[in-house]
C-alpha cells in the first residue's frame, strides 16, 4: 500500500514532467508544490516510488521520470478533470456550428480536437449498424434525370443523379418516393436491402427499369455507410513531438495508416470512471509502440452510442486536459446528432 503522501509526490512528478519534459528532482518538487515536508522526506518518497517501479532515473540524472506503471496509477487516481476554458469551449462550439452536414461536422471535430490537445485526433463516422433512414428524396431535374437523396438519422446526406434510359414521368417519381419512405423510414440501414428486394414487382412492367435503377442506386448509398471510417487530424503534432516516442514514431505513424487496426482498437476499449477509455504504452497492444497513449470516448444518437472519437499522443500527454477535450467534443457531437432527430 503506497502512502497518500507518496502518491502526492507521484502526482507532482507526473505533472512537472508533462509540463517540462525534464527529469524531476526533490528540490524542484519542493520549489513548485506545497508538499509540507523536508527534502529528505521527499527523497524517501521518491525511493519508495522507484522501488514500486512507478518512477525511474533516466541515465545518470538525479531527477526521476514516470514509468508506464506510474502514468497508469496517476490516471487511475486522477481527481477532477480540468474542464475546457470558456474561450476554448466558445471557439469549439463556434467552429463546429458552422458545419454544413455530418461529414463536415466529423472533419471539423477532428481538426478541433487535434488543435485543443496538440495530439493526433481520431473521429469515427456513425456506423451502419447503428444508423437508420430518416428520409429518402427523389427530385426530378429533367425528363430523364432524377436526383436521389438518402438522409440518415445521424444527419448524413448522400445523393446520386440517376440518368434514366427513357423519360420518367413525375407521377412515377412521386409514387416511388412515397413507397420508399413508407417502407424505409426509421428502418436500420442494415435492413434496407431486404426491404427493397421485391419493390420493383409492385410496379407495371414498363416502369420497372427505372425502379430497379433507383433501388440499385439507393443500395449503393447504403453500402457506402458500411465501410467504417476514421477521420484523422494532427499527424504533424506527433512529428513535432517525435523525441517523446523514443524512436518509435515510425511505428506510431504505421499504426495510423492501418485504419482497420485503429478502428478495432478504439471499438474494443471500455470507459473508466472519467467517462473515457484510456490505454497507456504497452496497453495499446500494438507491436513497437510503448511510448504512446490513447484516450477514447463515444458519442450518441437517440441515447445510443453510434461511433467513437479520441486522441493519440505520447505517454507524456496532458491527461486531464485531453480527457476534458475528448469528452467535450463527444458531448457536442451527440447534441448535433440529437438535433437531427
Report pLDDT digits (tens) over 162-205.
999 999 999 999 999 999 999 999 998 888 989 998 899 999 99
| CA distances in angstroms from 140 to 50, 83, 148, 166, 179, listed in the order given | 73, 50, 9, 13, 16
Residue 92 has pLDDT above 60, yes or no: yes
Q: Are residues 112 and 169 in the same domain?
A: no
At which of 168, 189, 224 does a domain end? Answer: 224
Helices (H), 52-207: 68-76, 86-97, 102-117, 170-184, 192-196
Residue 341 has pLDDT above 60, yes or no: no
Residue 38 has pLDDT above 90, yes or no: no
Vertex 221, ends 216 and 226: CA angle to 5°? 115
Report pLDDT digits (tens) over 115-141.
999 999 999 987 655 678 999 999 999
Within-domain flag for 48: yes
Domain total for the chain? 3
Q: Are residues 251 and 330 in the same domain?
A: yes
Residue 63 has pLDDT above 70, yes or no: yes
Within-domain flag for 154: yes
| Backbone φ and ψ of 35, nearest 5° | -80, -20
Select from 31, 51, 30, 48 the least CA-distant residue to 39. 30
Q: Are residues 236 and 332 in the same domain?
A: yes
Q: Are residues 232 and 335 in the same domain?
A: yes
- Contact status, residue 131 vs residue 225, Cβ threshold 8 Å: yes
Vertex 263, ends 241 and 293: CA angle to 5°? 30
Q: Are residues 119 and 193 in the same domain?
A: no
Average pLDDT, the chain: 89
Q: Are residues 136 and 119 in the same domain?
A: no
- Residue 209, sorted as left (phi over 0), alpha (psi -120 to 50) or beta, turns out to be alpha
Within-domain flag for 102: yes
Report pLDDT digits (tens) over 196-245.
988 999 999 999 999 999 999 999 988 876 667 889 999 999 999 988 98
Q: Are residues 292 and 219 in the same domain?
A: no
259: domain range? Answer: 86-127+228-339
> H-helix or E-strand containing 40?
helix 39-51
Which distant-in-sequence residues (6+ apart) come within 8 Å of 318 by Cβ? 18, 117
Residue 65 has pLDDT above 90, yes or no: yes
The total number of residues shown for the chain amounts to 341
Q: Where are the beta strands (DSSP E) in 164-316?
A: 230-233, 277-280, 292-301, 304-314
What is the pTM assigned to this prediction? 0.77
For every residue of 304-335, DSSP letters joined together read EEEEEEEEEEESSS-HHHHHHHHHHHHHHHHH
Cell of 212: 430497379
Amino acid at each position: 500500500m503506497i502512502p497518500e503522501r507518496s502518491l502526492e509526490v507521484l502526482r507532482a512528478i507526473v505533472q512537472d514532467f508533462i509540463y517540462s519534459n525534464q527529469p524531476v528532482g526533490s528540490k524542484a518538487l519542493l520549489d513548485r508544490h506545497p508538499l509540507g515536508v523536508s527534502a529528505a522526506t521527499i527523497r524517501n518518497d521518491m525511493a519508495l516510488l522507484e522501488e514500486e517501479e512507478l518512477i525511474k532515473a533516466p541515465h545518470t540524472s538525479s531527477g526521476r521520470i514516470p514509468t508506464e506503471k506510474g502514468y497508469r496509477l496517476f490516471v487511475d487516481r486522477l481527481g477532477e478533470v480540468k474542464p475546457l476554458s470558456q474561450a476554448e469551449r466558445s471557439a469549439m462550439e463556434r467552429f463546429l456550428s458552422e458545419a454544413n452536414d455530418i461529414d463536415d461536422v466529423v472533419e471539423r471535430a477532428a481538426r478541433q480536437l487535434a488543435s485543443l490537445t496538440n495530439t493526433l485526433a481520431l473521429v469515427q463516422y456513425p456506423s451502419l449498424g447503428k444508423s437508420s433512414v430518416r428520409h429518402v428524396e427523389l427530385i426530378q431535374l429533367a425528363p430523364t434525370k432524377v436526383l436521389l437523396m438518402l438522409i440518415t438519422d445521424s444527419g448524413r446526406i448522400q445523393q446520386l443523379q440517376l440518368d434514366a434510359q427513357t423519360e420518367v414521368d413525375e407521377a412515377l417519381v412521386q409514387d416511388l418516393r412515397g413507397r420508399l419512405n413508407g417502407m424505409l423510414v426509421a428502418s436500420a440501414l442494415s435492413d434496407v436491402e431486404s426491404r427493397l428486394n421485391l419493390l420493383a414487382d409492385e410496379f407495371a412492367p414498363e416502369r420497372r427499369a427505372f425502379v430497379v435503377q433507383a433501388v440499385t442506386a439507393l443500395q449503393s448509398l447504403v453500402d457506402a455507410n458500411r465501410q467504417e471510417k476514421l477521420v484523422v487530424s494532427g499527424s504533424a503534432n506527433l512529428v513535432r513531438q517525435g523525441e517523446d516516442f523514443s524512436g518509435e514514431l515510425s511505428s506510431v505513424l504505421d499504426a495510423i495508416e492501418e485504419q482497420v487496426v485503429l478502428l478495432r482498437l478504439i471499438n474494443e476499449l471500455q470507459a473508466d470512471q472519467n467517462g473515457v477509455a484510456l490505454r497507456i504504452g504497452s496497453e495499446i497492444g500494438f507491436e513497437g509502440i510503448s511510448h504512446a497513449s490513447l484516450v477514447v470516448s463515444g458519442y450518441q444518437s437517440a441515447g445510443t452510442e453510434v461511433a467513437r472519437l479520441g486522441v493519440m499522443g505520447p505517454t507524456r500527454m496532458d491527461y486531464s486536459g485531453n480527457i476534458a477535450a475528448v469528452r467535450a467534443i463527444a458531448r457536442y457531437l451527440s447534441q448535433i446528432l440529437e438535433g437531427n432527430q
